[in-house]
């Protein structure tokens, strides 16, 4: 009795069908993977926000400071200070970065940021309506042209700082010796004011007169900036859905970007809700404060 085998044509047809199905399904799998990471980011942000709110519940309604600086060169950031309310370091890990907990302990301070209070800085004008420095659009002309329409938008945060007596280290440069965080009840627009956001540095470098529309190079050490030895946007990151310059990661030769992140950013606001939005959408909204001055909407906690 003879056995019927596949012909070459039949085999090629089956292979072609498999190839077509793979071509259709693989992009879907990739999209599903990205969607899963986005969901994880939102969940992580929510948990970080809840940890901050619980911290405030135990500390007279006051948010955790952006960072503390100790004489032995320890740097407990807000993430470290509120960690007892999270108890899982994985919450602080950004699934869109190549960073791993085993890389360096500093990665826990390099993925989320808390906007520091303007008044906690030795460099920023103490008048909250002064837009001559420490305001978005002051230093980068492309930022004024593309984002603020030629204006300077004042910005402020909710986090304070502290230093142990006699403490000095590079990371604390530009901060006052001690300045408290805001209380939760002092925030005028809780649903619009950022509490914690995806970023490349725990304090966004704002206290050192940097702006979210400029690039910085943190000590030139790739371990600390997650993406290798390169410049990055100093404020909130736009890493979700893109990479390279479109995510705000620039060549080391760039100090003032001419193009800005196109990716999405995940933030948690002072009322505890979390959301993802485009970097440009996040930075393109202003609000009028005292004296008719314009503030960056997500960074104006005391504007009602």
Distances in Å between the alpha carbon of 38 and those of 49, 89, 90, 264, 274?
A: 17, 18, 15, 10, 12
Query: CA 114 to CA 196: how far, in whole Å?
Result: 5
Give the side-chain half-sphere CA count within 13 A for 74: 8
Q: What is the pLDDT of residue 1?
A: 54
**pTM of the shown model:** 0.85
Judged against a pLDDT cut of 60, whether residue 154 lies above it is answered with yes
What is the tens place of the pLDDT at every residue in 107-127?
A: 777 789 999 999 999 888 888
Q: What is the mean pLDDT of residues 118-138?
A: 89
**Degrees (nearest 5) of the Cα angle 125, 130, 133?**
60
What SS3 state is found at 234?
Answer: coil
Closest by CA position to 38, among listed 279, 277, 233, 271? 277
- pLDDT band, very low/low/confident/very high, at 229 (cuts 50, 70, 90): low
**Which residue has better confidence, 282 or 11?**
282
| Average pLDDT of the chain to the nearest whole number | 85
- pLDDT band, very low/low/confident/very high, at 295 (cuts 50, 70, 90): very high
What is the tens place of the pLDDT at every residue in 25-65?
A: 777 667 777 788 888 889 999 999 999 999 999 999 999 99
């Amino acid at each position: 009795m003879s056995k019927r085998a596949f012909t070459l044509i039949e085999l090629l047809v089956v292979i072609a069908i498999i190839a077509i199905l793979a071509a259709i399904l693989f992009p879907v799998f990739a999209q599903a993977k990205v969607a899963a990471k986005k969901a994880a980011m939102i969940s992580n942000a929510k948990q970080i926000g809840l940890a901050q709110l619980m911290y405030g519940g135990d500390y007279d309604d006051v948010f955790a400071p952006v960072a503390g600086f100790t004489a032995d060169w320890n740097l407990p950031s807000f993430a470290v200070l509120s960690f007892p309310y999270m108890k899982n370091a994985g919450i602080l890990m950004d699934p869109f970065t190549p960073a791993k907990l085993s890389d360096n302990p500093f990665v826990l301070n390099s993925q989320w940021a808390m906007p520091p209070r303007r008044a906690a800085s030795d460099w920023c004008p103490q008048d909250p309506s002064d837009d001559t420095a420490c305001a978005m659009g002051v230093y980068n002309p492309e930022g004024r042209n593309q984002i603020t329409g030629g204006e300077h938008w004042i910005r402020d945060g909710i986090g304070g700082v502290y230093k142990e007596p006699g403490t000095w280290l590079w990371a604390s440069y530009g901060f006052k010796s001690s300045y408290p965080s805001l209380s939760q009840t002092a925030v005028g627009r809780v649903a619009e004011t950022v509490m914690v956001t995806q970023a490349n540095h725990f304090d966004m470098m704002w206290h050192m007169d940097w702006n979210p529309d400029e690039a910085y190079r943190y000590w030139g050490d790739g371990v600390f900036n997650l993406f290798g030895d390169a410049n990055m946007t100093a404020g909130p990151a736009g890493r979700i859905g893109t990479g390279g310059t479109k995510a705000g990661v620039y060549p080391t030769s760039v100090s003032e970007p001419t193009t800005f992140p196109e990716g999405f950013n995940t933030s948690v606001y002072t009322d505890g809700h979390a959301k993802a939005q485009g970097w440009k959408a996040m930075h393109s909204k202003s609000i009028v404060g005292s004296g008719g001055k314009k503030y960056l909407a997500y960074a104006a906690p005391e504007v009602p």
